[in-house]
Amino acid sequence: LPEDFPYPVLVQMRLDGGRYANLVKQMARVSALPVELADTGDAAKVGTIHILAGDVGLEVRDGALRFAGAAETLVPSLPLPQSAVGMLSGADPGLVPAVLAFAAQGGWAAGQHGEGCYDPAAASQLIDAGMTAGTPEQLASELVQRSLA
């Protein structure tokens, strides 16, 4: 994503051992956007990649999206229609129903396919339901195009 991407980017992964600070460092080396670890109570910032631990969700408070301590609130709290959810390799299949409900309400949802997708279970369910499919690079390009519209 380009350094002038006009939305916050939220990345939620479940990592064995909870080494989210290491993921922040790894992502920061390859990202044009700043990368931060999301802390409960902090607001999501435009043009920033926020790494969310597996138990972090969202809430709308004081007119802003803020990180909260309930992961199940992540997808339902995304503002519509400008939000997007991409499920990449290894995504939790248990989140698919919430993502499909999000898409039915006007959000954009997509799933990774192709080489490098070692665990396509969740992404394939989205694709089978008619959502956009592509490589991570293709999905990022579509996000950029959507942000310009």
| Selection from 68, 21, 25 nearest residue 44 by Cα | 68
Q: What is the pLDDT of residue 148?
A: 87
pLDDT reported for residue 61: 87
The whole-number pLDDT of residue 59 equals 93
pLDDT number for residue 110: 97
pLDDT averaged over consecutive 10-residue blocks of the chain (149 residues)?
94 87 95 96 96 91 90 90 93 94 96 89 96 95 91
pLDDT at 14 (0 to 100) = 82
Tokens standing for 10?
């939220």
Is this prediction's pTM over 0.75?
yes
Please tell me whether the peptide bond between 34 and the residue prior to it is cis, using omega within 30 degrees of 0: no
Report the pLDDT value the prediction gives residue 17, as an integer from 0 to 100: 84
Do residues 69 and 40 lie in contact, with contact meaning Cβ atoms separated by under 8 Å? Answer: yes
DSSP string, the chain: --TT--S-EEEE---TT--HHHHHHHHHHH-SS-EEE--TTPBP-TT-EEEE-TT-EEEEETTEEEEES-GGGTGGGS-TTT-EEEE-TT--GGGHHHHHHHHHTT-EEEEE-STT-S--HHHHHHHHTT-EEE-HHHHHHHHHHHHH-
pLDDT of res. 89: 92
The predicted structure's pLDDT at residue 71: 81
Let me know how long the chain is.
149
